[in-house]
Chains A and B, each alone.
Chain A
Amino acid sequence: MRKLVAAMAILAVVFVIGCQDTKKVTELQGQVDKLTQELDQAKMDLAKKSAECDSLAKVVADMSAKKPAPKGSGTPAPTPKPPSGKPPKVGR
């Protein structure tokens, strides 16, 4: 009889501990879900801001193209990209 009570007690302890772990897992899973939702929201915000930035850059480029060049200064010539093996050209 004593052995049976002892066994039941051990089972009860194991059951309680197991239930607590399950509860903890559930809580952690909830936190993960919440953080995932926040991450998704942040990604959406980033995409939105990037689109706004691109739009603004396009406006700036259009305005720069329409702006007349200052007197006495020409458009700087683009620096030609040297092919492989050729060193960058340096004034001397």
Chain B
Amino acid sequence: MRKFFALTAVGIFAATALLMVGCPSDTGDVPGDPKVEAATDSTVKFTWTAPTEGTPDKYIVSFMETGTTAYVPFDTVTTTEAIHNPAGKTGSYKVVAVFGSTEYEALTMPSTAPVANAATSLSELNAAGNSGYGWAKTAGTATTYSLTQAANATSVDIYLTDFATGFAGPEYSIASPDIARGSDPGATGVVPDGAWRVNAIAKVTGSENSPLPAHSTTVYAQYQEVDQTPFLMAVRTADGYYALIHLDSKNLGSGTVQIKSWYQTVKGLRLIQH
């Protein structure tokens, strides 16, 4: 009986000690604050912070391409950053901290997939309806705006024009809003003075999932003609963000086109696969 009590006491003591101290191999935590940014205009710098508890043996970083369902490891590092060349693809990034045989996965997976904005109607500058279109810089959501109000100057990234009074066209162009004042006959008496954005626009001749054209003054200009519909254009904003716009359903009677877009929220990255 005394032996039983003694064994029980030893057992309770050992369990309490284990609870208080813990197994050395179990010390660890998840990596914190994973983020993506542009390493170049087509490669990604993936960073995070070290776990608050313990020092991991290594980090395994993985990439899940947009449209797929599995993460594929692309590197193992001991620092808190990794450079990835996604070969023109966008997707989500995951980091796992490895402590011995135990893995701690970061709680969030940042993504380079662009923000999709559904089709909406965009009007020619002199037609009824909003002719301006712009993206919220960090959220990537698009909104149409009127160019008749100076308060919208800092929100409009592009506008639709035929560079003439009226909206008969027949050729429409997508233009940077800064050229409306002074360069667009249709804007006279319509567009007020303001700090209109100075953006650059390029034609996209390849697939809508291919990387957008690299920024160059021989490719990007202050406007591009809508030669045909559907039509793809790349926009590079003055603050260095890229977006793809898709124009369709040009209607000279109402002076409208249908526009949808994909906006890359990672500054400077021209990957647009969606």
Contacts and interface: CB of A to CB of B under 8 A. Distances in A.
A85 B164 contact: yes
Contacts of B97: none
A90 B173 CA distance: 14
Contacts of B185: 85
Nearest to A80: B225
Nearest to A91: B217
B252 interface: no
A85 B125 CA distance: 14
Contact of B183 (A83, A87, A92): A87
Contacts of A91: 216-221
B217 A92 contact: yes
A89 interface: yes
A86 B222 contact: no
A86 B217 contact: no
B198 A87 contact: no
Interface of A: 83, 85-87, 89-92
A87 B171 contact: no
Interface residues of B, number: 20
Contacts of A86: 163, 173
A60 to B, nearest CB: 28
Interface string B209-227: 0000000111111110000
Nearest to B238: A92
Given A89-B221, A91-B217, A91-B220, 13 more contacts: A83-B171, A85-B184, A87-B179, A87-B222, A89-B223, A90-B221, A90-B222, A91-B216, A91-B218, A91-B219, A92-B220, A92-B221, A92-B222
Contacts of B200: 92
A89 B184 CA distance: 12
Nearest to A89: B221
Nearest to A82: B163
19 contacts: A83-B171, A85-B163, A85-B184, A85-B186, A86-B163, A86-B173, A87-B163, A87-B179, A87-B183, A87-B184, A87-B223, A90-B221, A90-B222, A91-B216, A91-B217, A91-B220, A92-B198, A92-B200, A92-B221
A89 B221 CA distance: 6
A70 B208 CA distance: 33
Interface in B36-87: none
A91 B217 CA distance: 4
Interface string B153-187: 00000000001100000010100100100011110
Contacts of B164: 85
Nearest to A87: B183
Interface in B18-46: none
Contacts of A87: 163, 179, 183-184, 222-223
B187 to A, nearest CB: 11
B85 to A, nearest CB: 26
Contacts of B171: 83
Contacts of B219: 91
Contacts of A89: 221-223
A87 B223 CA distance: 9
Contacts of A90: 221-222
A92 B179 CA distance: 12
B124 to A, nearest CB: 13
